[in-house]
């Protein structure tokens, strides 16, 4: 997945916004002012990386399954994973991780925001954005 493809996915979610609060090399994606994803682009000879919120038990499973998934970079290592966009995690899995992150953040919002977004999302996860 390219950084632009990830950006397209992150901005697909209802009320998703993009900002650069940490400088020009990091894009932060938020819903209701709460971060659900960070896209960091390093030097041109290194792959970009994304940081996503994750259930702590699932975070450990993903780290065990994929060498490119590590504890969150500059975040709470228990609740966040950083994924190197080096091609070792398939696009569909990255989309699923992003959906999971967004839904975890929505679940932690104040009731009015949570109820509004759940109405848009419905009971089931939203249809996954296309990675093709």
Domain positions in the chain? 3-121
Query: Residue 83 — φ and ψ, nearest 5°?
Result: -120, 125
β-bridge mates for residue 50, sequence order: 39, 83
Residue 51 pairs with which residues in a beta bridge? 38, 82
pLDDT tens digits for range 27-74: 999 999 999 999 998 777 889 999 999 999 999 999 999 999 999 988
Annotation: CATH topology of 3-121: 3.90.1150
Residue 126 has pLDDT above 70, yes or no: no
pLDDT at 87: 94
- Structure pTM? 0.88
Q: What is the pLDDT of residue 124?
A: 52
pLDDT, tens digit, for every residue of 74-124? 888 899 999 999 999 999 999 999 999 999 999 899 988 988 888 777 655
Helix (H) or strand (E) holding 26: strand 26-31
What's phi and psi for 59, nearest 5 deg? -55, -45
Task: Indicate whether 125 pLDDT > 70.
Answer: no
pLDDT higher for 20 or 121? Answer: 20
């Amino acid at each position: 997945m390219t950084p632009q493809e990830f950006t397209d996915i992150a901005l697909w979610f209802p009320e998703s916004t993009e900002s650069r609060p940490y400088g020009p090399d990091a894009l932060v994606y938020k819903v209701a002012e709460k971060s659900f994803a960070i896209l960091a682009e390093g030097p041109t000879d290194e792959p970009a990386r994304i940081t996503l919120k994750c259930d702590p038990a699932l975070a450990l499973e993903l780290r065990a399954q994929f060498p490119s998934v590590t504890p969150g970079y500059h975040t709470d290592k228990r609740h966040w994973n950083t994924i190197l966009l080096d091609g070792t995690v398939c696009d569909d899995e990255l989309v699923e991780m992003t959906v999971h992150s967004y839904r975890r953040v929505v679940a932690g919002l104040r009731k009015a925001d949570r109820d509004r977004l759940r109405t848009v999302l419905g009971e089931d996860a939203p249809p996954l954005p296309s990675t093709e």
